[in-house]
Each structure stands twice: as C-alpha cells, then as structure tokens.
Structure 1
C-alpha cells in the first residue's frame, strides 16, 4: 500500500462511443460533489473502489453490489443542502470545515472540542470566534440535524434518479456508527444496513489516507474498530495491506474514472437514456440550488426560461433539450465556492470577487468531463459573458459568444431579478424589462432579449416559474409550444 499522490483536477483520458453509460455520467459528476465537500479530486471514486472491493470480499450478490456502487457515487449528493447552515453556525468556510470535521473522531470529546474551536470563526476576531464556538457547543442537536438533512437529501436524490431502495438506505445511514453514537438515528451494530457500514469505512479510510498516508489511515481504522466501524469490515480492509498493485491504482487519478466505470456490477451496463439524462440534470440542479438560500430554484428556472426563449427563436427539439440541460447545470461550478462568500450579506472584497468569478471555469471543466454534456459545456460556462467583451471570466465578445450562451445570459439575469430572495422580493416585469433594456446590444443579444421580453410580458415566463413537474417533455408542452423550425447554433 502506498501513500496517495494528489494530481491535477479533472484529468480525462478521453473516451468515445455512441452509447452513454449511466455509470460514466454519474462517475464524471462526482468531481462536483468532491468540490462541495472540500475533498481532493477523486475522493468519491476512490471511496467507490474501496467499497466495491469490500463487497466482493464479503461475497455480496450483484444486486447488492449495484446498490452499493451507486450509493458510493451519490453519497455526497445531499451535502450542498447543509453548506449554508454549517457556514453560518461555525462562521467558517464550509468546504474547509467539512474536510476537517470528516477527519475528527466525534466520540473523543476533547479532540472534537479542540477541532471545533480551531474551525470556528476562521479569520474573525477572537471574540467572534468564541461566540461561534459557544453557539456550536450549546446546540449539539444542530449537528444531528445538519447530518440528517444531508443524509435525507442524498437518499431522496437517489430515489428521484430511480435507484433501488437499498441505495437510498445506504446513503441515509452512512453516518451511523457501530457503537450506536452516530447520526441521524443512532442505530447500532447489525441494525445498521450493511451497505452503510461498508460505505462509512470506505469513505473515512479514503479521507485519512489522502491526508495522512497509509499509516495514519490504518491507525485510524484500528482505533475506531468496534466504535465507528464494523470490526469484521476493518479486518477485511486491513488484510489488503500487502496488495501493493491494487492500492497503487487508487493514486492513478487519470484512469480512476475508467476503473470505476469498468467495475459497474451486473451483466448489462445501465444506459443513460435521454429521459434519464434529463433526470440527472434536474437532480444536480437541485444540488446546486441547495448550496445557498439565495438561489432556491434558480437553475431550474433559468433552464425553463432558456427553453422557451430558444423555442421562440426557432430552435428544434434537440437544441432545446441541450439548452435545458445547460441551464440546469450552468452554475455547477458554484459548488466549489465557499458559502462564506456566496452568503455574505455585505459587499464582496476584490479577493472574494475573484473566487466567485472562478465558477464558470469550474462549470466548464466539470461538464467537459461528462461525455453526454461536453458539447454544451462552453455555452453553459459562458453565461456571464457579454457581447461587448466586459463579461467574465474570458471577456469574450461578439461572435465568440454563441446563441445558446446568449440565451442563458438573458435567462440568468432575468431569473435573478424576478426571483424572491431572503433579503428582497422579486422585481416586477416592467422594472426588469427597463433594467435589462439598458444593456440591449451591449450585454445582451437584441434578438434574444426581445424574445425574452415578449414572453415575459405575455406571462409565459411567470407561468414557467410555477411549474412543479420536471422533465423536458412536460416543459416543452407547457403553454404555447415552441415552433419547430431551423436549428439554432448551440455554442
């Protein structure tokens, strides 16, 4: 077994093929989940490989291994839902906090108190740090609630994506401990689902291994044997110490994703149908929008507005479907931005603006990594570009900004101005039209803006914001259908 080596973000060996496997799509999107958890790239994939080997050693059937496989890939899909709350409670960067707290032993009260004290109010004055520490110490029930929110949300997403009950159950109970002092329910021993027990050991061992090497991870597993972890599982995992070749594979970040895809349990790989891809995009839009209370339903509404605007411009069904997915995922890069910045009530500093303006780059890297989404990755990432070249992050101008990106730019700003936020009510349509019209031809494409204004003044966009059913077909047939005409340039 060798120490982990951290490699550059999102390396891709490049793959081709007409049929898109579900495992490929979910595996690629795990890099976004690693971002929101503050974990090193590949954390989820390495966890999956460890969990799968444990399941094989135990002789689990294909159905159970498949449930564990997708539970491992989606285990952190609920993590964005507690980011804002954790950041506010601790007064710290949610990503650094999550990475730090994943390493601490909750049962060691002294070490937990010390780690909590170090994690509270980072960058604040001493009095504020003490205030945050006392707030955390006095409300231990909040910790359970925060974990419960994350676990329940993750299980719900697994259900929405159509995975078996065992997958959601594994995610729901991933933080239960063998001794009964875990969360959210406090199950103990064999009452904890076996898949949850496997997943807890796999993810915790990986986190320690990447930070402290083999020795640190091994010592942790032995120390928590019988408290956190099922003793039999610890013994199984530590029996691999001499399998140097296998452990070295976990450091191969370039081929890590291929390893995970190749190990999908079952004789027939699950295919990512168009409907399933839509479902994945909607699910990850929910993950994105849960990151901060200021963006509730933002991605979903942007996508819906963009589909209708694209239709008004004469786009065909496939292009409209692409803009739907691009709209749903345009802010996926924000999962890499700290909630201390996203939720800051005051004006951002120059340094904080730099961090916020990185999110389109993250979006581009993540979506380019997904074979089924890479063809609209540029458009999704360009939603803050302007025709006059004053946008960000690439300062593109004119024809460098494609039609789909122009539609997303208008949709993004329209949604931001009309949506209700915790700190203000949404603006009226006339007010928004007045504001956006001032940037006609400079920030916004005149034809796209005119189409959006016509839909807004006709009440179509307001109706779309009230749609509760997800799915391209339902959206496409809501209200007046878009005309089937020419194909609009996608990038």
Structure 2
C-alpha cells in the first residue's frame, strides 16, 4: 500500500503570522512548549516527551540512520502529541476523562470496558495526525518530520491508524518514535523487566521485531543516562528558525473549541492597555507573550471539568487551581521563557488574595499582573461559554465594576483595558478575506467554537445542508479535512 499524503499548509514566517511584532520564539522553545502541552494533555510527566525524544534519537542511530534521521526522530517524538488537544473532546466523551483516560491508554492499563469504547477511534486519529502534521508544516520543519507526524499511529502489522499502512509503507521514524515512547512510558509504569516483555510481544505488531532486538539490550543503560546525557538532549542546529508564539496558543486552545482565539485577543488587548497605562516597551512585550502562554496549564485538566454545566466540585477546583502552576513549571523548563511564563501564571491572582495558585494580594501584585488579570477577565466575559452566553458590553462593565469595588481587580488596570477596547478593529487581512466568502467566514467562526451544523444553521437561520455545503467549501479552500485543522489554519490566517 502506498503511503498516504496530503497537501501541507504553507510555512509561517514571523512577518505573516506575527501578532504584534514580538511574538516569536526559537524553534527549540516552540518545540519544548508543544511537547510539554502534549505531555500534560496525555496525563504524562512534564518531561516525558523530552525523555522519549532522546531515546528516539538513539534508536534511529542504532537502526543505521544518519544524524539527520536521528534529529528527525527527536523532533517527531517531541511533537507526536501536538495534535492531542484537537481530539480531547472525543476522548473525554469515550472515556469520561481525556487526560486520565489517555494516561491509562499509553500505560496499557485501560479496563476491558474502556478498551471496548476505543474499538474504532479512526476519526480521532485522523484529527490528531492532520493537526500535528499541519503544525510541523507551519513551523517549517523538514518533510520527513511532517510525514512522520501524519502517520504517527501506523503499525507494522497494518493495524494502526488512520490509514492501515504496514511494513515498509510506514515511515521508519514512526517505528523509532513509537518504540522510544513505549520504553519510556512502560518502564515508568510497569518497571523495566515487565516493560521489555510487553515490548517484545509487540514486535512485528507495532514495530519490527528486528528493531526491538536491536534496542532492548541497550534500554536500561539508555534510560539511566537520560538525565545526564547532555549531548543526546541537544537539538540539532541546522534549523535556525523562529516560530510564532501564537501557534502554541492556538494549539492549546484546540482542546476547547469555544476558546479558539482567546489568548490572541487577550494578548492584543493587554498590550494596548499596557501602552495606554504608560508601561515600558519591555513590559508591553512581556504581557503580550504572557497572554499567549497563560493557557499552557489548562491542558492538564480534563475537558469534562472545563465543560461541566453544573456547579464545580472541590476536586474540580483543585485541578483548576493548578493550571497556572503548570504554566509556571513549563516556563521554568525552557530557557528564555521563564520570565514571560512566570507573569502568565499570575493571570488568576486577585488583589484581595482570593486568586490562585499563589494567593498573592495587592502588596505583591504589580501593574503588569493586574493588567493581565483585567484583560483576561474582560475577554472571557465577552465570549460564550458552554454554561452561559457571552455577556453584552453593559453587563460586562457591571461585572468588572463589581470586581473592582469588591477589591479583586485594580481600578487603573480595568480602566486601561476598557480604554483599549474602544480603539480595537478587526485584523483580517485583505488576502485572507478574499480566500473565503463573508458567509463562509461566519460559518467557520461558528464551527470553530464547537457548534454542530444544526446549531450553526439555527443561529444563522439557514438550513443544515447549506451549512454542510459551506463547510465542504471551507475545507477545500483551506486544504483541510477536519474542523480542528480548519480552525488552526483560520486562526493563523486571521480569518477568525
């Protein structure tokens, strides 16, 4: 069977994708951030993908690959969960907990009942592979990396997803990455001896038995050397690229469709508010970047919590209170990101000490975190959520005023945010606007927020079949086959 391929989106240059001129990160930083978001989404330790990527690089070399093949394996391993936010809702529906359920799936500890629910997850695999492949293409990564990500769940025996490729039709990098992931995860969950036995049984099923035979004698030494082998951890420097930080924010928000574009809007608003408040350029830049980073920790919390329509329980709130903690932890692991991520982790702090996760108060919160909190609150209130409709401007102002008088939000910060909202305009470029019709953009806006064809049709007062026709046209024009990929592409182009 021939390997299945699809058209790739164009790579994004900072000039075309930049939000405000300061939103780029290095390739290594972007990949590190995406790896951590993936780990949190899959219920893994925050360094799991990084560790697996070092193993994958070694496995590629052991299999006879050159330095480029080793670097490709490392990159695919870092990004292999970059599509997992896009299908989180599907796994939450099937398993009741997308984070905990996928943790069990990777560790091979699913119950028989859970496994039965995953009998056919081809649509979820299609979403994941398309989005992760698109992310690689948008970052300008080598073709073998993109190709590997688009086929990352294929298996040697043809039982993989989404295309059922087998044998040599599966990219070799997929085998290197799958085996590395299993060594890292299964040894951690079951112990090395049991893990090696499980992996041996997967020979000529998930990956070639010959590859397993080459790797297993070295598994223990390689695992023991992961924390000290600096050379293996270094990212090859043949790709001196910068990547839009907006891409990281967009990937995070695919987890919850109703959040699409949220961090971008907060970033624009808080940067403008900081300018009006007279903050230095460095603070304006850091605030915009913090706004794009502040959702990292959200990946660690199950969709069932975020979308619960009733009152949240104590366990729910404990998980939510850790969201900014995970954001700060992610930043502390990636060189050059710590300062912005530290500021991002203050987004839910409040002047009266009632915020989280540090419970800071007015004595310790300076103007930057006060502005970030006010901007995030404003944007959230003006957007719909599963449990409520979007607030109109009047009710938004009233709710913000109540937060100010109650001593939770800062008066000057809220005033600056409100002043910034008065001069904001749509940023859709002319070229992007010509790509889709006005009606298609309206439809795209609705489906990007998670609405079904019927829900969009009802809101737009057109028939579901008309919506379906528009969706098909949108997919064709954007070169996508899933709604998640269309949302990611549309955000990048400034269409929504």
TM-score interval w.r.t. the shorter chain? 0.7 to 0.9
Deviations 1:78-123 (A, max 9, x none): 1122122211222x2222210211244xxxxxxx9x7341x48xxx
Aligned residues: 410
Q: Is residue 82–residue 146 contact of structure 1 (8 Å, CA) maintained in 2? A: yes
Query: Are 2:55 and 1:50 aligned?
Result: yes
CA shift for structure 1 position 21: 6.6
1:377 Cα deviation (Å)?
A: 2.9
How far the C-alpha of 1:232 sits from its partner, in A, is 2.6
Q: Partner of 2:15 in structure 1?
A: none
Tell me the residue number matched to 1:392. 356
What RMSD over aligned residues (CA atoms) do the two structures have, in Å?
A: 2.9
Using a 3 Å threshold, how does the CA distance of structure 1 residues 317 and 27 change in structure 2: closer, same or farther? same
Of residues 326, 332, 341, the one that matches 1:362 is 326
Determine the structure 2 residue equivalent to 1:97.
101
Contact 2:271 2:285 in 1 (8 A): yes
1:448 matched residue in structure 2: 413
Matched, 1:310 2:274: yes
Within 1, Cα distance between the matches of 2:133 and 2:239? Answer: 20
Match of 1:64 in 2: 69
- Kept in 1: contact 2:62–2:215 (CA 8 A): no
* Cα distance change on mapping 1:335 and 1:179 into 2, 3 Å: same
Contact 1:84-1:292 within 8 A present in 2 as well:
yes
Q: CA deviation at 1:303?
A: 1.5
Query: Counterpart of 1:367 in 2: which secondary structure?
Result: helix
Q: Name 1:196's counterpart in structure 2.
A: 174
**TM-score relative to the length of structure 2:** 0.76
The answer to whether the Cα contact below 8 Å between 2:297 and 2:323 also exists between their aligned partners in 1 is yes
TM-score by length of 1: 0.76
Deviates more, 1:436-445 or 1:304-313: 436-445
Q: Find the counterpart in structure 1 of residue 143 from structure 2.
A: 165
Distance apart, 1:384 and its partner CA:
1.1
SS at match of 2:111: helix
Q: Is the 8 A contact 1:25 1:371 kept in 2?
A: no
**Residue 204 to residue 169, structure 1, CA distance change in 2 (3 Å):** same
Cα deviation code 1:100-148 (max 9, x no counterpart): 11244xxxxxxx9x7341x48xxxxxxxxxxxx6xx37xx44x111122
User: Are positions 1:228 and 2:224 aligned together?
Assistant: no
The correspondence of residues 245-394 of structure 1 with structure 2, limited to 5 A, is 245-250=221-226, 252=227, 255=228, 258=230, 260-262=232-234, 264-265=235-236, 268=237, 270-271=239-240, 273=242, 276=243, 279=244, 281-394=245-358
Matched residue, 1:463: 426
1:53 Cα deviation after fit = 0.9
Match of 1:179 in 2: 157
* Structure 2: distance between partners of 1:354 and 1:52: 37
Unpaired runs of 5+ in structure 2?
1-24, 434-491
Structure 1 counterpart SS, 2:426 = helix
Report deviation, 1:28. 6.2
Q: Which moved more, 1:72-81 or 1:37-46?
A: 37-46
User: Separation in 1 of the partners of 2:189 and 2:34?
Assistant: 23
Residues 303 and 323, structure 1, Cα contact 8 Å, conserved in 2? yes
State the alpha-carbon separation in 2 of the partners of residues 294 and 466 from structure 1. Answer: 23
- 2:184, 2:223 within 8 Å by CA — same for their partners in 1? no
**CA positional deviation for 1:423:** 4.7
Contact 2:61-2:69 within 8 A present in 1 as well:
no
Q: Does 1:425 align with 2:383?
A: no
User: Whole-Å Cα distance in 1 between the matches of residues 30 and 386 of structure 2?
Assistant: 34
Alpha-carbon distance in structure 2 between the residues aligned to 1:361 and 1:210? 24
CA distance in 2, matches of 1:372, 1:387: 28
1:31 to partner: Cα distance: 3.3
